[in-house]
Structure 1
Amino acid sequence: MTLHQTLLPDGWPRPKGYANGILAEGRMIFTGGVIGWDEQERIVADDLPGQFRQVMKNILAILATGGAGPEHIVRLTWYITDRDAYLAAQAEIGAIWRDHMGRNYPAMAVVTVTSLMEAAAKMEIEATAVLPVPAS
């Protein structure tokens, strides 16, 4: 069963690593901004890939609490503090992505910001997931 449909207007090139749009119907889960800290609110890594690994672990833990998995994610908004560090780490971030998300590529935006509320955080990600409506 298809959980959602990727939207690609005619004539547009297929984006690499994300979707331009997603059509979904069902129950929705929204996360707040998730950063790379553990259950005791300690930042687990000083580098962007290490923080990303923890962010994904945290997002998937939140979604699992609501009965969702990575396949249900339809949108991610990333906030990063260093564009150059992000670009330099893309290969490692991509490998971490595949470990957690497989080949699910939701609609995404990556926004560079001057800082985040948690001073040691290098990124913060918000996720939206859509679960199928249970059969009646």
Structure 2
Amino acid sequence: MEKQVINTNNAPAPIGPYNQAILAGNTLYISGQIPLNAATNELVMDNIQAQTHQVMKNLRYILTEAGMNFGHVVKTSIFITDMNDFAQINAVYGEYFTSDFPARETVQVAALPKAVNVEISMIAVK
């Protein structure tokens, strides 16, 4: 199986020993993205909607680098620190997926990197 590292300067650089994404065959595995703006290297922490938009933008940049888009996504994992934010996160998420929705789980966690409130990872297939 061929394995290719996918990285783009448009999304945040990894903060540990991992890559933004790995393309294995026709399947793209995208590491969890947080609301970090790669252009400014600052966290977007205004509100949960702004945080979710930044996460989705980061994911789009990585998908684009791999020659894909949200239509290729088959699975997402959403990690949030407060389940009370679910409806707002879901509303923003729904702006990026309009049909043929991927499989998904949403899990509340005690904490996320850099004390953010949302992190999303994806799997996409060409």
- Which TM-score applies when normalising by structure 2? 0.73
The residue type equivalent to 2:104 in the other structure is: M
Aligned to 2:69: 69
The residue type equivalent to 2:125 in the other structure is: V
**What is the Cα deviation at residue 48 of structure 1?**
1.4
Counting aligned pairs with the same residue, the percent is 31
Where 2:61 maps in the other structure, the secondary structure is: helix
Counterpart Cα distance in 2 of 1:108 and 1:44: 24
Residue 51 (structure 2) pairs with residue 51 (structure 1): yes
Which runs of at least 4 in structure 1 moved beyond 6 Å after TM superposition? none
Where 1:67 maps in the other structure, the secondary structure is: coil
Gaps of 5+ in 1: 1-25, 132-136
Distance 1:46 1:116, change over 3 A: same
Q: Which has the higher contact order (CA 8 A, sep 6+)?
A: 1
Aligned to 1:129: 124
Number of residue-to-residue matches in the alignment: 101
Aligned to 1:116: 112
Structure possessing the higher radius of gyration over alpha carbons: 1
Where 2:76 maps in the other structure, the secondary structure is: strand
Gaps of 5+ in 2: 1-24
